Chains A and B, each alone.
Chain A
Amino acid sequence: MKKHTIAVLVNDQPGVLQRVSGLFGRRGFNIESITVGTSEEAGLSRMVIVTSGDDRLLEQVTKQLYKLIDVIKVIDLSARPMVGRELALIKVNAEPAARPEILGVVETFRAAVVDIGTNTLMVQVVGDTEKIDAMVELMQPYGIRELSRTGVTAMIRGNAG
């Protein structure tokens, strides 16, 4: 099972997210993460979807997506050199005694503390999925109170697209 990251350029119409995500569910394709936002062109949104399966599945996913009238373009990002990033906010238990240790991890990961409570810290970390996973793992021992991840957004490097 290979992981694929695909970008889908769609008309910014009501219901388009439902059409795309519904297609995945209906056809038995798995969505590991999906992010949606505006694109470089007014009226078009860009979805970035991470899915896993063999090449035949990717081909079928792509073809089925193209059948949707609101889909303009489907790009297999992971076929080329790609930058993939997600963001996570982690609210972790942080009694004053534990804070220096946590701050050490945050610095090493080039993450940031974005909120401080009486006995918590909120850490913001940006990076590829593996980096976020690692950060979450390191925060586990302190006790994670809340965790929110955005899912992956991605782009092909330089002129490779």
Chain B
Amino acid sequence: MVAQNATLRSKEELMEKMSKPEVITGSEMLLRSLVLEGVDCVFGYPGGAVLFIYDAMHGFSDFHHLLTRHEQGAIHAADGYARASGKVGVCIATSGPGATNLVTGIATAYMDSVPLVVITGNVATNFIGTDAFQEADITGITMPITKHSYLVRSVEDLPRIIHEAFHIAGTGRKGPVLIDIPKDVSSHKALFKPVNEVSIRGYNPTVTAKKPQVDKMLKAIEEAERPVILAGGGVVYSGGHEELFEFVTKAGIPITTTLLGLGAFPSGHDLWVGMPGMHGTYTANKAIQGADLLINIGARFDDRVTMKLDGFAPKAKIVHIDIDPAEIGKNVPTAIPIVGDIKTVLQQANKAVKFAAKADVWRAQVAEWKQEKPLSYVDSNVELKPQWVIEMIHETTKGEAIVTTDVGQHQMWAAQYYRFNQPRSWITSGGLGTMGFGFPSAIGAQMAHPDRLVVSINGDGGMQMCAQELAVCAINNIPVKVAIINNQVLGMVRQWQEIIHNNRFSHIDLAGSPDFVKLSEAYGVKAFRAANKEEARDAWIAAMNHPGPAVVEFVVRRDENVYPMVTAGSTIDEMLMGDAE
């Protein structure tokens, strides 16, 4: 794909060149430090306060820099890169509006525990606090949505701060770390010596769990008659999916994976019961409500999973494994708390876990629910159904694509009807529910995996929130395949207005949207439109076969709803099942 890829130097050459102690500017220190942290791709947008940084980047070819068309595109791309690669994503923006344009992306990454190092420029230190041109207190603004942040006051501090930032972002419960660099700090010179050690007194995440707690969980499994495992994004982030598979299959316990946990466990497995919660499967929700033991592995009991907290898993003894102690007991009282890294804890558990022998009747019951009430929809040969489009994409990609989505109905259908069998193949904004995330995050995912097929599924609403990044795909030949599920309406809002607000449809009509084919072509991106099954399949296959980026607009039925659905105030087994009931 990207032509620049081949020009990168070998790692050894780079390390030798970059590690040399030398008197250089703060900007050069930044670039060297990024290379030494293993960064190969940075997403950014220059401006006045980062002029020195971009000047140092002139002719610099030791990592890729992608110029996006909006800072929001840059940070979502860095986020997609991080989620797809497991590495720390990096983006750069200038001070003031550049920095504030990152806020949505920082909050998105914070809510979903995505490791990012966010670099912003700021006005020179002697201007800070004077309301100078393009000044914003970005460390203050982002304090509630960053894991940690730095305002660099002296160029001598820069190498240490960058090293600490990568360490903090990528360890423990991962998250975004912001480094705000005043303009004079990026222009001043000092002796650069690489920092290889990190010592932060107040920061020491617990990795290995206390053995007695793990033993309590193992005993609870032996005693349980109706055990269920709830696995979340923490499994993916810790790289513990193989350990999870061993744990689940050894114990023989039905497993449900949250929105961010999709791909942590193979969807085709007999013990997998789908996603839980608001748009979860009948089986997952019934199983949680009937369970006498619920083992939460790296999920945070989000309200979209629990719905009405009072009635959530009412009969279950709760085990909660999480690297962040503050998640345990935050929403749901926990009988057996286990603090530690998911991969490590599961390795500990796998040494002694036994088959849940008392749960035979329960396993049969769960299998029966799965058989009786699978996900389903009423198909049509007249109108294109969005669920069918997702199934077709799954089938034609053989389930092997990296899929990113935006937020809304198409996101839930993708979660339901695309079947994930590998971690880091599913990239979606869970916690914050950020529209505009889907398409730029695919650019980041493709940069992380140049050789894999990356599919971005979007609605017609969200696509218009970052459509300008089509230029980035075109100019860099980033071969993302974009599906726009166009129902000409803000679908999820329409669904809520129908069900909760008695068909009072208020300001949801997206009439006046651009012709997506022409829009894509205007950016130099190949595009197709499809309004029936035959066109849809043909267009999609043509897009996949096209060597560069391509967009397919699927014109689908407007009034389709996502089912099952649990409405606010209900417990998760009070599901509306829709037409297919």
Chain A residues close to B by CB (< 8 Å): 10-11, 14-15, 18-19, 22, 26, 56, 59-60, 63-64, 66-72
Whether A68 pairs with B140 at a CB distance below 8 angstroms is no
CA distance A69 to B161 in the complex (A): 13
Segment among B38-46, B85-93, B141-149, B310-318 that sits at the interface with chain A = B141-149
Which of B139, B143, B324, B329 interacts with A59 by CB under 8 Å? B329
- Greatest chain A CB density within 10 A among B140, B144, B324, B326 is at B326
B203 — nearest CB in chain A belongs to which residue? A69
How many chain B residues touch A (Cβ–Cβ < 8 Å)? Answer: 19
In the assembled complex, the CB of B403 is this many whole angstroms from the nearest CB of chain A, namely 31
Whether A68 pairs with B329 at a CB distance below 8 angstroms is no
In the assembled complex, the CB of A60 is this many whole angstroms from the nearest CB of chain B, namely 6
B139 — nearest CB in chain A belongs to which residue? A15
CA distance A56 to B201 in the complex (A): 27
CA distance A97 to B200 in the complex (A): 61
CA distance A14 to B154 in the complex (A): 14
Q: Give the dominant DSSP class at A's interface.
A: helix
Q: Contacts A14-B151, A59-B329, A63-B325 hold; do A72 and B201 have CB atoms under 8 A apart?
A: yes
Which of B139, B144, B168 interacts with A69 by CB under 8 Å? B168
| In the A-B complex, the 10 residue pairs with the closest CB atoms | A63-B326, A69-B148, A72-B202, A63-B325, A69-B203, A64-B326, A26-B144, A71-B202, A67-B326, A22-B143
Whether B140 pairs with A69 at a CB distance below 8 angstroms is no
Chain B residues close to A by CB (< 8 Å): 139-140, 143-144, 147-148, 151, 168, 173, 200-203, 324-326, 328-330
For this complex, 23 residue pairs linking A to B, each with C-beta atoms less than 8 Å apart, are A10-B202, A11-B201, A14-B151, A15-B139, A15-B143, A18-B140, A18-B143, A22-B143, A26-B144, A56-B329, A59-B329, A60-B329, A60-B330, A64-B326, A66-B325, A66-B326, A67-B324, A69-B148, A69-B200, A69-B202, A70-B202, A71-B202, A72-B202
CA distance A68 to B326 in the complex (A): 11
CA distance A72 to B168 in the complex (A): 15
Residues of A within 8 A of B144 (CB): 22, 26
In the assembled complex, the CB of A126 is this many whole angstroms from the nearest CB of chain B, namely 32
CA distance A68 to B148 in the complex (A): 7
Residues of B within 8 A of A19 (CB): 143
CA distance A60 to B332 in the complex (A): 12
Q: Contacts A15-B139, A15-B143, A19-B143 hold; do A68 and B202 have CB atoms under 8 A apart?
A: yes
CA distance A15 to B142 in the complex (A): 12
Residues of B within 8 A of A64 (CB): 326
Residues of B within 8 A of A10 (CB): 202
Q: A18-B140, A63-B326, A69-B147 are in contact. List 12 more A-B contacts (CB 8 A).
A: A10-B202, A11-B201, A15-B139, A60-B330, A67-B324, A67-B326, A68-B202, A69-B168, A69-B200, A69-B202, A72-B201, A72-B202
Residues of B within 8 A of A59 (CB): 329
In the assembled complex, the CB of A52 is this many whole angstroms from the nearest CB of chain B, namely 19
Residues of A within 8 A of B202 (CB): 10-11, 68-72
B140 — nearest CB in chain A belongs to which residue? A18
In the assembled complex, the CB of A76 is this many whole angstroms from the nearest CB of chain B, namely 15
In the assembled complex, the CB of B160 is this many whole angstroms from the nearest CB of chain A, namely 14
In the assembled complex, the CB of B58 is this many whole angstroms from the nearest CB of chain A, namely 33
Residues of A within 8 A of B147 (CB): 69
Residues of B within 8 A of A15 (CB): 139-140, 143, 151
CA distance A70 to B168 in the complex (A): 12
CA distance A67 to B326 in the complex (A): 8
In the assembled complex, the CB of A63 is this many whole angstroms from the nearest CB of chain B, namely 4
Residues of A within 8 A of B140 (CB): 15, 18
Residues of B within 8 A of A71 (CB): 202
Residues of A within 8 A of B330 (CB): 60
CA distance A11 to B144 in the complex (A): 18
B173 — nearest CB in chain A belongs to which residue? A67
Residues of A within 8 A of B203 (CB): 69
Residues of A within 8 A of B168 (CB): 69
A25 — nearest CB in chain B belongs to which residue? B144
- Greatest chain B CB density within 10 A among A18, A22, A67, A70 is at A67
- Greatest chain A CB density within 10 A among B151, B173, B201, B330 is at B201
CA distance A66 to B168 in the complex (A): 14
A26 — nearest CB in chain B belongs to which residue? B144
CA distance A68 to B172 in the complex (A): 12
In the assembled complex, the CB of A117 is this many whole angstroms from the nearest CB of chain B, namely 37
Residues of A within 8 A of B325 (CB): 63, 66
CA distance A72 to B140 in the complex (A): 21
CA distance A108 to B168 in the complex (A): 55
In the assembled complex, the CB of A82 is this many whole angstroms from the nearest CB of chain B, namely 23
B144 — nearest CB in chain A belongs to which residue? A26
CA distance A18 to B144 in the complex (A): 10
Residues of B within 8 A of A11 (CB): 201-202
A10 — nearest CB in chain B belongs to which residue? B202
Residues of A within 8 A of B326 (CB): 60, 63-64, 66-67
Residues of A within 8 A of B329 (CB): 56, 59-60
Residues of B within 8 A of A22 (CB): 143-144
In the assembled complex, the CB of A83 is this many whole angstroms from the nearest CB of chain B, namely 26
In the assembled complex, the CB of A71 is this many whole angstroms from the nearest CB of chain B, namely 5
A44 — nearest CB in chain B belongs to which residue? B201
In the assembled complex, the CB of A75 is this many whole angstroms from the nearest CB of chain B, namely 14
CA distance A67 to B339 in the complex (A): 14
Residues of B within 8 A of A56 (CB): 329
A65 — nearest CB in chain B belongs to which residue? B326
A70 — nearest CB in chain B belongs to which residue? B202
In the assembled complex, the CB of A78 is this many whole angstroms from the nearest CB of chain B, namely 20
CA distance A15 to B178 in the complex (A): 14
Residues of B within 8 A of A67 (CB): 173, 324, 326
Residues of A within 8 A of B139 (CB): 15
CA distance A66 to B327 in the complex (A): 12
Residues of B within 8 A of A60 (CB): 326, 329-330
Residues of A within 8 A of B200 (CB): 69
B175 — nearest CB in chain A belongs to which residue? A67
Residues of B within 8 A of A68 (CB): 148, 202
CA distance A72 to B201 in the complex (A): 7
CA distance A10 to B200 in the complex (A): 12
CA distance A70 to B201 in the complex (A): 8
